[in-house]
Amino acid sequence: MKIAFIGAGNMATGLGKHWAAKGHELFFSHSRDIEKLKKQAAAVSPTAKTGTAAEACNFAEVIVLTTPYDAAPEALKAAGDLKGKLLW
């Protein structure tokens, strides 16, 4: 399954490690520091992708919102159209 994270903190990393071990394809997005995002994604899975929230939503079947509560509205706006996606 293709899973994307909007927000790339501890929750995304923790969940990502479990799902990567099960063979799921992962995409990490919506970080203020793109280099940190890339390093974090690579630490979770060597095949994990990184990019914008909109790219993450285009990639994935399941979108996991892992931002702080006050950052959620901005993150969802950046994600764009979520029609046909499962938002968790």
pLDDT at residue 14, as a whole number:
95
Element (H, E) at 6: strand 2-6
The pLDDT of 4-12, averaged and rounded, is 93
User: pLDDT tens for residues 63-84?
Assistant: 999 999 999 999 999 999 999 9
DSSP notation for 40-67: HHHHH-TT-EEE-HHHHHHH-SEEEE-S
Report if pTM > 0.85.
yes
pLDDT at residue 86, as a whole number:
96
The pLDDT of 16-38, averaged and rounded, is 93
The pLDDT of 29-53, averaged and rounded, is 92
Which pLDDT band, with edges at 50, 70 and 90, does 30 fall under? confident
